[in-house]
């Protein structure tokens, strides 16, 4: 979409892997920009060999194999059958991946089955984001922070906590918790911890359709608080940020406010470009909504009390304080 400022993979050039070359085309885990290394406490991990700028596509990979959804007891058999059909090198790659349930499910305990993406370890403060591109049928990994040569490339497996199923050794918040004794680190941790608690609470309430209908002003204020915390905690390109922009978009569009809805859709687009790339269906949908917010199914669903045209006059975006006052109706 020409009118939007692209900050994504297509424009970034420091690392040499781009969407143009698919990783599965050569099935190597060491490329000019990244390699596999032993990481203390985590097994193998993926490490950058060059500086990688935010928004760069690090990986674009087809699964080694896929199985249709079925009962858990049948998955083991289906995986075994598919595995037999793969070339020997790929069978070996598959079997070398980490198994979460080695005794019980020797094959299906190996979760995501990608030759390279499956080697990326978790961090509570990740520098990359992984997502499934349903349009191309590939898993993509994008840098969501600038990554320096020698840094481990990490993703967030989930929202952290006990669900991970292993003792997290990442250099993010949880490391501070377990081993840091410095006062500065303790302060950082405290700020980050309370932000994360707030994040979870806010995240649970921002998508509440009842609140959007009854009290859109409050809904928007919750989105504002969440967006601020998300940017502080995870940087500019994260999927939660895109989702929160979508919540704010919905609040506005459901009450007929196309001017603000268009701004939130554009921000959602910008966040998605960074973490998923231009070819992601969700990025493309965000771009379409930014051009035509009224095309959304819930346009004016809760009335038209906030009605504005898409191109209504607004403060200049460079004047951040004034612009945000307008955007969040403060
Ligand atoms: C998808 S695999 C990642 C590659 C794995 N390190 C390997 O050598 O195959 C996931 C497993 O890696 C390990 N792991 C990933 N992130 C970790 C972390 N932050 N701390 C400790 N172990 C981690 C855990 O054993 C986890 O079950």
Residues 43 and 165 in one domain: yes
Question: What ipTM does the predicted assembly reach?
Answer: 0.99
Give the pLDDT confidence score for residue 147 in this predicted structure.
Answer: 96
The residues with which 45 forms a beta bridge, in sequence order, are 37
- Res 11 pLDDT > 50: no
Residues 212 and 159 in one domain: no
232 part of a folded domain: yes
What is the pTM assigned to this prediction?
0.78
Residues 199 and 270 in one domain: yes
Residues 135 and 214 in one domain: no
Residues 242 and 118 in one domain: no
Q: Cα separation of 177 and 172, whole Å?
A: 9
295 CB within 6 A, ligand 1: no
42 CB within 6 A, ligand 1: yes
Backbone angles phi, psi at 92, to 5 degrees: -65, -45
CA of 167 to the centre of ligand 1 (A): 9
Residues 158 and 206 in one domain: no
Among 121, 128, 153, 156, the mutation site with the greatest number of ligand 1 atoms within 8 A of its Cβ is 121
Q: Cα separation of 310 and 322, whole Å?
A: 19
Q: Give the number of the atom of ligand 1 that is nearest the alpha carbon of residue 174.
A: 19
Give the pLDDT confidence score for residue 88 in this predicted structure.
Answer: 76
186 part of a folded domain: no
Among 47, 92, 109, 166, the mutation site with the greatest number of ligand 1 atoms within 8 A of its Cβ is 166
Q: Which of 175, 207, 232 is where one domain is finished?
A: 175
Which of 112, 300, 329 is closest to 220 using CA atoms? 329
Q: Which domain holds residue 126?
A: 9-175
The total of structural domains in the chain comes to 2
Residues 18 and 167 in one domain: yes
- Res 206 pLDDT > 50: yes
Please compute, for residue 211, the number of CA atoms within 13 A of its CA located in the half-sphere on the CB side: 15
Residues 113 and 146 in one domain: yes
- Res 223 pLDDT > 90: yes
Question: Residue 59 maps to which CATH number?
Answer: 2.170.270.10
Give the pLDDT confidence score for residue 320 in this predicted structure.
Answer: 93
- Residue with the bigger pLDDT between 165 and 143: it is 143
Question: Residue 283 maps to which CATH number?
Answer: 1.25.40.10
Q: Which of 175, 209, 239 is where one domain is finished?
A: 175
235 part of a folded domain: yes
Please compute, for residue 251, the number of CA atoms within 13 A of its CA located in the half-sphere on the CB side: 29
Percentage above 90 pLDDT, the chain: 49
* 29's tokens: 């885990």
Provide mean pLDDT across the span 159-179: 55
The residues with which 61 forms a beta bridge, in sequence order, are 139
For residues 123-135, b (16+ Cβ closer than 10 Å) or e, as one string?
bbbbbbbbbebee
41 CB within 6 A, ligand 1: yes
Which range (89-98, 159-168, 181-190, 230-239) has the least confidence? 181-190
268 part of a folded domain: yes
On average, the pLDDT of the chain sits at: 80
């Amino acid at each position: 979409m020409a009118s939007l400022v692209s900050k994504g993979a297509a424009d970034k050039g420091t690392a040499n892997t781009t969407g143009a070359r698919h990783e599965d085309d050569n099935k190597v885990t060491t490329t000019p920009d990244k390699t596999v290394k032993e990481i203390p406490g985590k097994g193998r991990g993926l490490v950058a060999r060059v500086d990688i700028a935010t928004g760069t596509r690090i990986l674009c990979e087809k699964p080694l194999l896929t199985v249709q959804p079925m009962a858990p007891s049948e998955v083991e058999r289906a995986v075994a059958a598919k595995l037999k059909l793969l070339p020997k090198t790929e069978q070996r790659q598959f079997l070398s991946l980490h198994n979460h349930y080695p005794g019980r499910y020797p094959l299906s305990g190996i979760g995501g089955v990608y030759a390279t993406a499956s080697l990326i370890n978790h961090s509570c403060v990740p520098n990359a984001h992984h997502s499934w591109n349903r349009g191309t049928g590939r898993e993509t990994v994008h840098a969501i922070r600038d990554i320096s040569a020698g840094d481990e490339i990490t993703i967030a497996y989930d929202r952290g906590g006990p669900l991970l199923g292993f003792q997290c050794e990442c250099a993010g918040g949880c490391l501070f918790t377990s081993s840091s004794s410095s006062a500065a680190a303790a302060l950082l941790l405290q700020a980050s911890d309370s932000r994360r608690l707030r994040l979870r609470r806010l995240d649970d309430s921002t998508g509440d359709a009842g609140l959007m209908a009854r009290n859109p002003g409050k809904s928007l204020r919750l989105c504002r608080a969440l967006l601020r915390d998300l940017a502080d905690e995870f940087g500019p390109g994260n999927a939660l940020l895109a989702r929160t922009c979508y919540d704010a978009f919905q609040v506005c569009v459901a009450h007929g406010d196309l001017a603000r809805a268009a701004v939130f859709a554009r921000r959602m687009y910008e966040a998605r470009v960074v973490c998923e790339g231009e070819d992601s269906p969700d990025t493309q949908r965000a771009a379409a909504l930014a051009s035509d917010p009224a095309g959304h199914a819930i346009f004016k669903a809760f009335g038209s009390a906030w009605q504005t045209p898409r191109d209504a006059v607004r403060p200049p975006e460079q004047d951040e304080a004034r612009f945000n006052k307008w955007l969040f109706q403060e």
